[in-house]
Amino acid sequence: MIFKLIIALLAALIVFSIFMFFLGRKNKEKQNIKKRIAYFSDYRTDPSATAKNASIGDFFFNLFHRGGEMLEPFKKSNSFDTKMQQADWPMTGTEFQLALVILGTLGAVLFYGYTIQIVGAILGFAFGALLGWTVLNFCIQRRQAAFTNQLSDMLKMIADAMRAGFSFMQALEHVAREMDAPASREVQKLMRETNLRIPLETALENMSMRVQSKDFDLVITAVLIQRQVGGNLSQILDNISETINARLRMKQEIKTLTSQGRMSGIILALLPIALAFLITTINPDYLKPLIEEDIGHIAVGFAIFLEIVGYFVIKRIVNIDT
């Protein structure tokens, strides 16, 4: 029996090795092209360049990177790659998908170890993957909000540089050197794209896709129109900067007026958890039916669902588009 098991494992290992060999041959040319582009765009660094100073963390990162490269041929869309660019994370979309699978597997193991049920493992996998997706969206939203707050200062810097005699591209280089991230980082990506002979219009559109800012769309429209028909671009950028400042002031006023509603949503979401903790501290046996009985599990799940729905309803009410 053990001999047959060993033979089966060896056969599976041989088949897997052959599959990975042909898959690596298929990806070799594609990876060479990526390395050439990375050399000019500085988008990613070569892991071999830091091999002498590699640590255990670098080893696992390289292993993770190799796993993402192996999954690259199975990629169906570039939506995850777009998300990585928006978050400015140093990984590809396939690597992030692999990370979601790893987080889901860890969640499944933990939940299964606690519940000893297949349903718990499924819920744990969903929770781990959802946690990774939530962190990604949070980082994207925070980065986009930071860019919007920097946009007015960036436009003023570009306008002042152009009045001093700089061209538009030279003014962008000045912004990339002097401003903080994420504005400087996004302008650096734009400059690298133009260095690869990508048209400025396309590079601006790619930047707009990453930052997802309505205010920046106004800037793109003004720049494209000025390049076609001419005009005083520095004055136009000053006007847009004043408009953006007015919008930001209005957003702050709205945020102040709706702060009570947001706080109510947070309190309503945290109150059941705090109350359950308090009751458990006073009388540990009072809430045992919710944990030990099936009907209690159903009640807890339904209560969590209603909590999530109520939180998002309140959030939708207090979020006013400007």
**pLDDT at residue 158, rounded to an integer:** 92
In tens, the pLDDT along 144-191 reads 999 989 999 999 999 999 999 898 889 999 999 989 889 999 999 999
- Say how far apart CA 170 and CA 186 lie, in whole Å: 15
- Say how far apart CA 211 and CA 193 lie, in whole Å: 16
Percent of the chain with pLDDT over 70: 75
Q: How many residues does the chain have?
A: 322
pTM of the predicted model over 0.85: no
In tens, the pLDDT along 207-243 reads 999 998 888 998 898 888 888 887 788 888 899 889 8
Burial 168-190 (b: 16+ CB within 10 A, else e): beebbebbbeebeebbbbbbbbb
**pLDDT at residue 17, rounded to an integer:** 66
Average pLDDT of the residues of the chain: 79
Whether the CB-CB separation of 178 and 110 falls below 8 Å is answered with no
- Say how far apart CA 18 and CA 129 lie, in whole Å: 31
Q: Which residue has the higher pLDDT, 296 or 42?
A: 296
Rounded mean pLDDT of 9-18?
Answer: 68
- DSSP character string of 274-310: HHHHHHHHH-TTTTHHHHHSHHHHHHHHHHHHHHHHH
Whether the CB-CB separation of 100 and 136 falls below 8 Å is answered with no
**pLDDT at residue 23, rounded to an integer:** 55
Token digits for 246?
């007015």
**pLDDT at residue 43, rounded to an integer:** 42
CB-based burial of residue 46 (10 Å sphere; 0-12 exposed, 13-18 middle, 19+ buried)?
A: exposed
In tens, the pLDDT along 96-153 reads 888 888 889 998 888 888 777 787 788 889 989 999 999 999 999 999 999 989 999 9
Whether the CB-CB separation of 171 and 161 falls below 8 Å is answered with yes
Indicate the pLDDT class of residue 259, thresholds 50, 70 and 90. confident
Query: Residue with structure tokens 């002097």?
Result: 178
Taking Cα atoms as reference points, which of 48, 91, 50, 54 lies closest to residue 69?
Answer: 91
H or E element in which residue 32 lies: helix 2-41
H or E element in which residue 123 lies: helix 118-163
User: Of 32-41, 48-57, 248-257, where does mean pLDDT reach its minimum?
Assistant: 48-57
**pLDDT at residue 44, rounded to an integer:** 43
Indicate the pLDDT class of residue 45, thresholds 50, 70 and 90. very low
